[in-house]
Amino acid sequence: MTVDTSVSETGSSAGVKRRDFLKVLGVSGAATAAVGCSSGDVEKLIPYLVSPDQTVPGVSNYYATTCRECAAGCGLIVEVRDGRAIKAEGNPEHPVNRGALCARGQSSLQGLYNPDRYRQPMKREGDALVATTWDDALQILSAKLGEVKSRGQGSRVAFVNQHEQGSFPAFLDGVLAGFGIAPHLSYDAEAPVAVLQANQAAYGAAWPAIDFSAASLIVSFGADFLDGWGLPVPQQLAFAEARGKVEGAPRFIYVGARRSLTGLNADQWIPAKPGSELAIVNAIAGKGSAAAAAEAAGVGVALIDGLVAEVRKARASALLAGGFGQDAGELATAVAELNKARGNVGKTIKPADGYLAFEGVAGHVEMRALAERMNAGEVPMLLVRHANPAYTTAPGVGFAAAMAKVPFKVSFSSVPDETTSLCDLILPDHHGLESWGDAEPVKGRLSLQQPTMDPVFDSRQTADVLLAVAKADPSLASKYGFADYRGYIASRIGGNQNLKNALPTALVSGAAASRTAPARTASRATAKEQSGEYTLLTYLSPTLGDGRGANKPWLQELPDPVTKILWQTVVEMHPETAKRIGVADGELVTVTTAAGSLTAPALVYIGLRPDTLAVALGRGHTAAGRYAEAGENAWQLLDAAEDRAGGAALGATKATLVKADGKKQRIVTTEGSGRQHGRGIAQAIALPALLAGEEGHGHHVFEGQASTEFLPGLRSPTANDAQGEFGVPNSKDKGQYDPEHWSGAAKRRWAMTIDLAKCTGCSACVTACYAENNIPTVGASWQGPVLLPDRTGFGANVTRGREMAWIRLERYWEIDREPKDVVFDPEHPDFDTNFIPMMCQHCGNAPCEPVCPVYATYHAPNGLNVQVYNRCVGTRYCSNNCPYKVRYYNWFGYGDPTRSQYAFPEPLHWQLNPDVTVRQKGIMEKCTFCVQRIKEAEHRVSLEGREMQPDEFTTACAQACPSRAIVFGDAADENWSVAKWAKDRRAYHVFEELNTYTAVVYLKKVNHPAPTASATA
């Protein structure tokens, strides 16, 4: 065990490769000597803890671990092929996400393989950061810490950690204490601290579970529980489940100045002025008059009366307080009181099984206090890990400037960001998928975190680094009996054996090490006296969060579910506002606040009050990598105002808006027309109408439809062509299209149902598809033409409609005019919105097929509309003839590493799915219903010599969907759930009148109009 010792004092081990390190850990972890015996070459390919005999090249291994992309701590199952993580999927066993996974969680892979990650330790020499060795870096760190300790300055050293749950915070505090350093600040710019505090006080739980199913009415006061407020995935699961009940599903009212994704999923929208929510809550609680509330909110009093009546009448309601105003704390308290008064606590609001995600999170206020201390020169040393306060704080805080006053700054971040770029020493941490750890998302359940593969770069887990440093200090070494952080985790759950037993699900009962967050010292800052006719709402981007996702092309290319903007920052304003200052979509406007100003293209958004502007946070980084530079940084507009709990007041800034010298930018959006023009693509029906049986869809009979019999299941001439000799029962040689053929291919009809009552438009399916099918992102500024590019900048390709998303989320406004002509009516501000995921419909009579001159697309016996990449010559006729416009063309060599348009710069290409071709330039591609998964399942069952079980597997989009709206399977077999759903009374096909016999069946969305009001479908 010589290696072992050398590893145990990691600091001094020079030449030890990470994989040897892991191997030895494997040995000490009793993972049998097999690992040790395996040959070097194989070893390279073998992920940690799997002995070679378990790994078959070309066959995936799956590792359960915990997602670290946000505080929620969802469970992951990471698919690893030949030692490389290729797909992150939800862990079905996990209490938080139950197998679902949001776009950000899936993009963790692009954090792991991010081309801009630090590849080794760095230290500052002059102005530049230069590469160095771990020995050197660790010596510097030890020396500095020793210095601090000896001088007794420890108490003034600050450690800012990206908030995460589990044992690490406590472990960290322990190590820090060893050097006399105060407990660290666990910072999360996304945490709604005011709500947390109020909940804690009111319910005794910071984040109670919300049981939407138990509610008959949901009222959200700016609580965007589907995008950015709390824990998106579990909340969306619960919400979709409730709405999916159709009958007895809760009605949902959204109160807020801007309709977020959550707001668009509401049945009714009450556009209350920012800051007036409290008045409305009081009106409901009887503490104020509806008239006064309506006055304050700037809406018709009828709306408030209706709301009050409904809440008072509701059997069980779920009232949720969000709001990023300065009074967020007060609002949350008032709402909590109201919930208590209405007896919702325990019914819809369940503190008992709450989430611990935000335990001990520090707010904006601590960052400001820290900045002040740094400015005062009181901070001798600053350590940062993953948190990026230099970017996620208001300019008034002046964090970056303050850092300059700190003599020595250390960062443990593994990717560059604004804060890290100012540091003197960088000790890159492992990515979450390379690290050990644990989380306690719900009380008593530990969700373990284990490495899924060999580290991509020469990084080291911060915990191990700290351990090494501590052990290097004789006075501390005694405290740490375990070799490394894995040992620590094992020791917490009773030893290695327990750990090994727990790892298959990564779930074990137990509690994470508890820590006491440092008492808050600073007092809140209230907004300065502000001027400006508009209130500016800066909101957390549903795709990029507070900005931490900005360097992941998948997230940059994922259209915002509401605005459908990607790669760009826009100033959202109501059409009336746009008219008032005389701008149209894309014309540059300048928003000016007390803090700063921002110039960006205008975008009219009908879901916004005319006296309010909105800008998404998260873009416009200066030092966070190549993709993160897209767009503008809205944090620069923030006034350093805070709410009662010290959270940043994102919606309390006054702003002025002027047109910027008539310049124009193309809006980077995937939206063509935002209206359906009465074409019935995304259909909705009001519940009363549905109950009255008015949906009566069934299957219509059309002129000139195929005369021959269809296969069972979906109405589709899959196996016998509609008119030809294959239709004639006694015709010979139907080949594979014969249902009697030995292959049995024609017996199946792969199909999909999508329940629009559940779909919230969150777009997780889109990212899942990118990850599964190696879809290139095309929006980077260097992915356009090389010579005389006629359009430049981020999103240039997208402005030409060249995004490649095989599945896209269409968002249709149900309005009778162009959005730019919508006027705001305080009495009736409401409008319906329908989301619909659109992908290849795998038509039985596919218009794209007969026009292809080379059979590059044809109809497979199992109902798939097949695309043969290497037969395609690229006439693009198929796309022209596709009514759904779901075929995507490779305009450039996105898959060719030698080109500027290459979409997978090393090591991003490590993520590519080996089962799926990376398409070359000049060919057409489209949704395949994840044919590689179909084949895999078919091979598996044939190897195991059995029949395929109903719902045995599913597509990437269905698997990820946090609404569980997508169901995939064999419509020709009654036992598959898709066959049942396809017969639902809400079922319909898009453009059925075109006789395409699609294999994708949509279930109408169900609207829940106000009890009194008539159906609004």
Residue ranges in 863-892 that form contacts with another protein under rule CB under 8 A: 871-877, 879-881, 883-885, 888-892
Q: Give the 3-state DSSP-derived string for 755-797, with helices as H, strands as E and coil as C.
A: ECCCCCCCCHHHHHHHHHHCCCCCCCCCCCCCCCCCCCCCCHH
Alpha-carbon separation of residue 506 from 56, 74, 448 (angstroms) = 23, 11, 5
Please tell me the count of residues contacting another protein according to CB under 8 A.
79
CA distance linking residue 117 with residue 111, whole number of Å: 8
CA distance linking residue 782 with residue 902, whole number of Å: 9
CA distance linking residue 413 with residue 389, whole number of Å: 12
Q: How far is the CB of 805 from another protein (least distance, A)?
A: 12
Q: Token pair of 55, please?
A: 């790994």
Q: What is the DSSP string of 634-700?
A: GGGG--S-B-TTS-B-TT-EEEEEEEEEEEE----BS-S-SB-TT--SS-EEEHHHHHTT-------
Quick one: DSSP state of residue 594? S
Chain positions 70 to 109 lying near another protein, rule: CB under 8 A, are none
Q: How far is the CB of 877 from another protein (least distance, A)?
A: 6
The smaller minimum CB distance to another protein, of residues 832 and 915, is found at 832
Query: Is 675 one of the binding residues for another protein (CB under 8 A)?
Result: yes
Q: How far is the CB of 13 from another protein (least distance, A)?
A: 49
The smaller minimum CB distance to another protein, of residues 364 and 749, is found at 749
Q: How far is the CB of 891 from another protein (least distance, A)?
A: 3
Chain positions 973 to 1012 lying near another protein, rule: CB under 8 A, are 991, 994, 997
The smaller minimum CB distance to another protein, of residues 32 and 731, is found at 731
The smaller minimum CB distance to another protein, of residues 66 and 890, is found at 890
Query: Is 859 one of the binding residues for another protein (CB under 8 A)?
Result: yes
Q: Token pair of 193, please?
A: 């601290």
Query: Is 498 one of the binding residues for another protein (CB under 8 A)?
Result: no
Alpha-carbon separation of residue 899 from 110, 553, 628, 784, 910 (angstroms) = 20, 17, 21, 11, 18
Question: Which one of residues 139, 498, 636, 676 is an interface residue with another protein (CB under 8 A)?
Answer: 676
| 3-class DSSP state of 96 | coil
Chain positions 768 to 797 lying near another protein, rule: CB under 8 A, are 784-788, 790, 797
H-type alpha helices, 134-186: 134-151, 168-178
Query: Is 812 one of the binding residues for another protein (CB under 8 A)?
Result: yes
Chain positions 704 to 743 lying near another protein, rule: CB under 8 A, are 706, 717, 721-726, 733-735, 737
Q: How far is the CB of 683 from another protein (least distance, A)?
A: 14
Q: Which of 486, 432, 321, 356 is nearest to 95 (CA)?
A: 356
The smaller minimum CB distance to another protein, of residues 390 and 809, is found at 809
CA distance linking residue 621 with residue 552, whole number of Å: 12
Question: Which one of residues 858, 937, 951, 983 is an interface residue with another protein (CB under 8 A)?
Answer: 858
Q: How far is the CB of 895 from another protein (least distance, A)?
A: 11
Query: Is 895 one of the binding residues for another protein (CB under 8 A)?
Result: no
Q: How far is the CB of 661 from another protein (least distance, A)?
A: 24
Query: Is 587 one of the binding residues for another protein (CB under 8 A)?
Result: no
Q: How far is the CB of 885 from another protein (least distance, A)?
A: 4
Q: Which of 700, 753, 748, 749 is nearest to 995 (CA)?
A: 700
User: Which of these segments, 147-155, 356-364, 412-420, 915-923, binds another protein (CB under 8 A)?
Assistant: 915-923
Query: Is 584 one of the binding residues for another protein (CB under 8 A)?
Result: no
Q: How far is the CB of 777 from another protein (least distance, A)?
A: 14
The smaller minimum CB distance to another protein, of residues 515 and 802, is found at 802
Q: How far is the CB of 850 from another protein (least distance, A)?
A: 4
| 3-class DSSP state of 254 | strand
The smaller minimum CB distance to another protein, of residues 121 and 861, is found at 861
Q: Which of 520, 647, 488, 588 is nearest to 185 (CA)?
A: 520
Q: How far is the CB of 609 from another protein (least distance, A)?
A: 26
Q: How far is the CB of 835 from another protein (least distance, A)?
A: 11
CA distance linking residue 916 with residue 164, whole number of Å: 35
Chain positions 634 to 663 lying near another protein, rule: CB under 8 A, are none
Chain positions 818 to 847 lying near another protein, rule: CB under 8 A, are 838, 844-847
Q: How far is the CB of 541 from another protein (least distance, A)?
A: 22
The smaller minimum CB distance to another protein, of residues 610 and 861, is found at 861
Positive or negative: CA dihedral 699, 705, 709, 715: negative
The smaller minimum CB distance to another protein, of residues 731 and 975, is found at 731
The smaller minimum CB distance to another protein, of residues 629 and 721, is found at 721
Q: How far is the CB of 678 from another protein (least distance, A)?
A: 7
Alpha-carbon separation of residue 851 from 549, 575, 842, 875, 881 (angstroms) = 42, 43, 16, 10, 8
CA 441 from chain centre, in angstroms, equals 18
Q: Are 589 and 659 in contact (CB under 8 A)?
A: yes
Q: How many CA atoms lie within 13 A of 989 on its CB side?
A: 25
The smaller minimum CB distance to another protein, of residues 95 and 893, is found at 893
Q: How far is the CB of 864 from another protein (least distance, A)?
A: 12
Q: Are 711 and 859 in contact (CB under 8 A)?
A: no
Question: Which one of residues 124, 520, 626, 921 is an interface residue with another protein (CB under 8 A)?
Answer: 921
Give ∠ CA 134-135-137 in degrees, rounded to 5.
60
Query: Is 565 one of the binding residues for another protein (CB under 8 A)?
Result: no
CA distance linking residue 371 with residue 160, whole number of Å: 12
- Length of the chain counted residue by residue: 1017
Q: How far is the CB of 757 from another protein (least distance, A)?
A: 20
Query: Is 673 one of the binding residues for another protein (CB under 8 A)?
Result: yes
The smaller minimum CB distance to another protein, of residues 323 and 776, is found at 776
Question: Which one of residues 124, 800, 909, 980 is an interface residue with another protein (CB under 8 A)?
Answer: 800
The smaller minimum CB distance to another protein, of residues 554 and 813, is found at 813
Q: Are 323 and 539 in contact (CB under 8 A)?
A: no
Query: Is 849 one of the binding residues for another protein (CB under 8 A)?
Result: yes
Element (H, E) at 320: strand 317-321
Question: Which one of residues 188, 587, 810, 925 is an interface residue with another protein (CB under 8 A)?
Answer: 810
The pairing of strands 207-210 and 217-221 is unpaired
Query: Is 947 one of the binding residues for another protein (CB under 8 A)?
Result: no
CA distance linking residue 930 with residue 174, whole number of Å: 48
The smaller minimum CB distance to another protein, of residues 461 and 760, is found at 760
Q: How many CA atoms lie within 13 A of 1005 on its CB side?
A: 29
| 3-class DSSP state of 397 | helix
**Which residue shows structure tokens 């300019």?**
395
